[in-house]
Chains A and B, each alone.
Chain A
Amino acid sequence: MDETSDKAPWDEIAWNGIAFQKPSCWEIATIGRNYLMLGTRRDPKMEITWGSTSKSASHHRRLKLLQSDIRRKHGLSVDVWNPPESWLTALPGHKVSGFSWLNESGKAIIVSCPTCNRASVFQFYQRRDENPGNFHTIVSRLLSTFRDHSENCRLKWAVFDIRALLPAAFQIKSYQFNPGYMAMDFTTHGHIIGLYRWSPASVLLAGRNLSDFAGSLPFYPVSTSETLKDAERMAWASPPTFSPLAQIAAFLSAKFLHHRFLIRHDSGTNRILAVRSESRHLMDNNIFDQIVAGYETKAI
Chain B
Amino acid sequence: MKQKQFSRSDALCCIPVRNSQVLENRLDSGEILLSYPETLRPWFSSLILRMNKKAELRRMRKLQLDILGTGVWDLIDGKSTITEIIASFAKLHLLYHKEAEISVVQFLRELGRRGIVGMKQLNG
> A: which residues have CB within 8 A of B?
27-28, 41-42, 160-161, 179-180, 199-200, 202-203, 206, 269-270, 300
Q: Contacts A203-B68, A206-B67; is A300 near B98 (CB within 8 Å)?
A: no
The answer to whether B94 touches A27 (Cβ under 8 A) is no
User: Are B96's CB and A270's CB within 8 A?
Assistant: no
Residues on B with beta carbons closer than 8 Å to the beta carbon of A28: 98
A-B CB contact pairs (8 Å), 28 listed: A27-B97, A27-B98, A41-B9, A41-B12, A42-B8, A42-B9, A160-B96, A160-B99, A161-B96, A179-B99, A179-B106, A180-B103, A199-B93, A199-B94, A199-B95, A199-B96, A199-B99, A200-B68, A200-B93, A200-B95, A202-B93, A203-B67, A203-B93, A206-B67, A269-B94, A270-B94, A300-B90, A300-B97
Q: Which residues of chain A come closer than 8 Å to B1, judged between CB atoms?
A: none
In the complex, what distance in Å separates the CA atom of A226 from the CA atom of B65? 36
How far is it, in angstroms, between the C-alpha of A160 and the C-alpha of B90 when the chains are bound? 14
Specify the chain B residue showing the minimal Cβ separation from A199. Answer: B95
Q: Top 4 A-B pairs ranked by shortest CB distance?
A: A200-B93, A270-B94, A179-B103, A179-B99
Q: B94 to A300, Cβ gap below 8 A? A: yes
**B98 CB contacts on chain A under 8 angstroms:** 27-28, 160
Chain B nearest Cβ from A191, distance in angstroms: 29
A42 to chain B, nearest CB (A): 5
Alpha-carbon gap, A180 to B103, bound state (A)? 9
Give the residue among A42, A180, A200 with the most B Cβ atoms within 10 A. A200
Q: Is B102 an interface residue (CB 8 A)?
A: yes
Which B residue sits closest to A266, measured CB to CB?
B94
Please report the C-alpha to C-alpha distance between residue A274 and residue B62 in the assembled complex, in whole angstroms. Answer: 37
Note all chain A residues with C-beta closer than 8 A to B90: 300
Q: Which residue of A lies closest to B29 (CB)?
A: A207
* CB nearest neighbor in A for B89: A200
Residue of chain A at shortest CB distance from B103: A179
B103 to chain A, nearest CB (A): 4
Q: Verify A300–B95 contact, CB threshold 8 A.
A: yes
A300 to B94, CA, bound (A): 7
Extra contacts, 18 of them, besides A202-B93, A300-B94 (Cβ < 8 A), are: A27-B98, A28-B98, A41-B12, A42-B8, A42-B9, A160-B96, A160-B98, A160-B99, A161-B96, A179-B99, A179-B103, A179-B106, A180-B99, A180-B103, A200-B94, A269-B94, A270-B94, A270-B95
Q: Tell me which residues across on chain B come within 8 A of A269, comparing CB atoms.
A: 94
**Residues of chain A with a CB closer than 8 A to B9's CB:** 41-42
Question: In residues 80-121 of chain B, which contact A (Cβ within 8 Å)?
Answer: 90, 93-100, 102-103, 106
Q: What are the residues of chain A within 8 A of B95 when measuring CB–CB? A: 199-200, 270, 300
Centre residue among B12, B97, B99 by max chain A CB count within 10 A: B99
Instruction: Give the distance to chain A from B14, nearest Cβ to Cβ, in Å.
Output: 14
